[in-house]
A and B are shown apart, each in its own frame.
Chain A
């Protein structure tokens, strides 16, 4: 299957600093990538849709000036958490969509990066 690489796997930072998370599709081109965050024992919450060559589309309630998304190429999207605060501590996961011809239908499968655990002190 398709491989999505995400790093760093974990990061600890001081309150007020910025953290950049990278997401790369290694063996396919991803026009669109998605950023999710997940709190313990909760499901994935979509933060934004990252489109190559254009501005990201943010979900309601997600501050675009705080969570900066850049999709510079067909294989790389970055999420920068600016001026991080302890409440930003979470598991951040990126994903990329790949079209797949199944036995009965074509699907757009999501392939996930390994996630980044962010802890803000």
Chain B
């Protein structure tokens, strides 16, 4: 089976940097995704990691360590609009993508 853990909530200040961690257990691995979801809306794709290391995309970066079953999403230069839920998602040995419970990020002025 698969299991994904991420913090329930985080708070950060506008302009700062925040790191959202995700740990997982899985019997097979075909990639780890990060999605952003605002309340009442569908998730939007942020990043994808299948190889170890850091993937950078503008203000967002994502890191993966397959041996440790660990990933993080790094958000730089936080803006108020970044207040949302951030979902860590895992594609295991099959074709399905399973989502973590999500981390609600609150950005304060």
Give residues in A with beta carbon < 8 Å to B. 1, 6, 32, 34, 36, 41-46, 49, 91, 93, 97, 102, 104-105, 107-115, 117
Contact = CB atoms under 8 A, between A and B. Distances in A.
Chain A interface main SS type: strand
B57 to A, nearest CB: 10
Nearest to A49: B96
A32 B95 contact: yes
Contact of A110 (B30, B41, B97): B97
Interface size on B, as a range, is 20 to 34
A107 B50 contact: yes
Contacts of B101: 42-43
Contacts of B55: 104
A44 B96 contact: no
Contacts of A112: 42-44
Given A34-B96, A34-B97, A42-B101, A110 B33 contact: yes
A36 B37 CA distance: 14
